[in-house]
Amino acid sequence: MTAAEIRAGASLAGVFGLRMLGLFFILPVFAVHASQYRGGENLTLVGLAIGAYGLTQAILQVPFGMASDRWGRKPVIYAGLLLFAAGSFFAASAGDIWSAIAGRAMQGTGAVNSVVMALAADLTREQHRTKVMAMIGSTIGLMFALSLVAAPVLDQWIGLAGLFSLTGILALLAIWVVWSQVPDAPLPRGPAAGANRRATMLDPELLRLNLGIFILHVILYAMFMVVPPLLISAGLDLSGHWKLYLPVVLVSFVFMVPPILYADRRNRPKPVLLCAVALLLAVEASLGALQMGIAGLAAAMLAFFVAFNVLEAMLPSLVSRFAPASGRGMAIGVYNTTQTLGIFFGGLCGGWTAKHFGAGGVFAACAGLAGLWLVAAAGMRAPARMGAEKAAVNPARG
């Protein structure tokens, strides 16, 4: 990777990290403090407040991606981060649950995930995109682990309103990072984005990848409906769950590096993807079939996060390679929409399945979904060999 590519990847990972850290700070404490709002005793409304962000994200990912194809990545990122910050500050001032719902929905209107990923693809050559996506994915995982440790401490110092305000401040800091650290990229050239819209939406390889990210996040959120109670039953108190999650997530970053490098250097993403999905299937099947103590659950979660991190890095990279350059923003927007819908349906279906069939039913359903993904991915066409593309990187500020 060139110095410009490293700079682009690191700075965009920082943008993702700042934004996601603020969101992750809220999740561990919101449900606990929701009763302080007027109407906050209604758990349905509390759930709506948590999910409102994902709903508006799902609606707006594609429009934001298409807008970035037309007007450029950076202006759309600035607008999205400002909306996200405004929603954070609005939620910080909320006195009732409906205002909190409105604030969370407003946060979701800053749907810049697809645009940031498209910009990362614009600024890197194909043979290095998986590395850059791995940088972004690793940063998100690290922020998740950090939030599990830091959120309870910050909550004691500044409270829920303070956490929302801190989230807004981090979003404004992300704007500065984009302006000062991220290189500019030229507007995509080639056929008009509208001319490629139908072909992009119906491309079989992109459909496989969109199915994959949907299933991956359904599995993630369904699992976390039942894994925490299993840890408590195994003897690990809720306040100590971070002691398992933090080392597991950090060690998983180490194990994800070799397969990512192999896929990049040998240009063999398909076998690596299939192995990661197969590992995901094995984890779900073992969790459903075996009675595990804390050590067994830790090992299973380590294997899960290795597979998860590899797939989180590879999937957006493959989307950027299969999508036409002039429609890349829209393609990644569709990808992020299916990802967000996976979060919504993972929580909803995971809760319903756990209620009616218990943890074993959840793991069995997740294993079935992983098996479906494995069958669909087996027919994936290998992307063209890389190496001829030059990075279109302009180090000027914008």
pLDDT tens sequence for the chain (398 residues): 788 788 888 888 888 888 877 777 776 677 667 778 888 887 667 767 776 787 888 888 888 888 888 888 899 999 999 999 999 999 999 989 899 989 988 998 988 887 888 888 788 877 777 677 777 777 776 787 777 677 777 877 888 899 899 999 999 999 999 998 888 776 655 544 454 566 666 778 889 999 999 999 889 878 877 888 888 888 887 677 778 878 888 898 889 889 988 887 777 888 999 999 999 999 999 998 888 889 999 999 999 989 988 898 888 878 877 877 667 777 777 888 888 888 777 767 777 788 788 889 989 999 999 999 999 999 888 776 654 444 444 443 33
- So what's the pLDDT on residue 193? 47
- So what's the pLDDT on residue 359? 86
Q: Report the amino acid identity of residue 265.
A: R
Which among 248, 49, 267, 278 has a CA at the least distance from the CA of 164? Answer: 49
| Cα(69)–Cα(290) distance, integer angstroms | 49
- So what's the pLDDT on residue 278? 97
Neighbouring residues of 251: CB distance < 8 A, sequence distance ≥ 6: 302
| Cα(270)–Cα(227) distance, integer angstroms | 30
Q: Are 1-187 and 194-382 in the same CATH fold?
A: yes
- So what's the pLDDT on residue 346? 77
- So what's the pLDDT on residue 82? 96
- So what's the pLDDT on residue 28? 63
- So what's the pLDDT on residue 396? 39
| Cα(133)–Cα(121) distance, integer angstroms | 9
Which among 172, 152, 28 has a CA at the least distance from the CA of 88? Answer: 172
Give Cα 141 to chain centroid, integer Å: 9
- So what's the pLDDT on residue 384? 63
- So what's the pLDDT on residue 199? 61
- So what's the pLDDT on residue 397? 37
Long-range contacts of 283-291, Cβ-Cβ distance < 8 Å, separation of 24 or more: 283/307, 284/219, 284/223, 284/363, 284/364, 284/366, 284/367, 284/370, 285/363, 285/367, 287/363, 288/360, 288/363, 288/364, 288/367
Which among 95, 239, 240, 221 has a CA at the least distance from the CA of 160? Answer: 95
Which among 177, 55, 65, 54 has a CA at the least distance from the CA of 117? Answer: 65
- So what's the pLDDT on residue 78? 95
| Cα(171)–Cα(161) distance, integer angstroms | 16
| Cα(383)–Cα(390) distance, integer angstroms | 17
Q: Which two tokens stand for residue 156?
A: 């004691």
- So what's the pLDDT on residue 186? 66
Burial of 351 (0-12, 13-18, 19+ CB in 10 A): middle
| Cα(170)–Cα(184) distance, integer angstroms | 22
Fold of 1-187: Growth Hormone; Chain: A; (1.20.1250)
Entry pTM:
0.73
**Domain extent listing, the chain:** 1-187, 194-382
| Cα(127)–Cα(360) distance, integer angstroms | 41
Fold of 194-382: Growth Hormone; Chain: A; (1.20.1250)
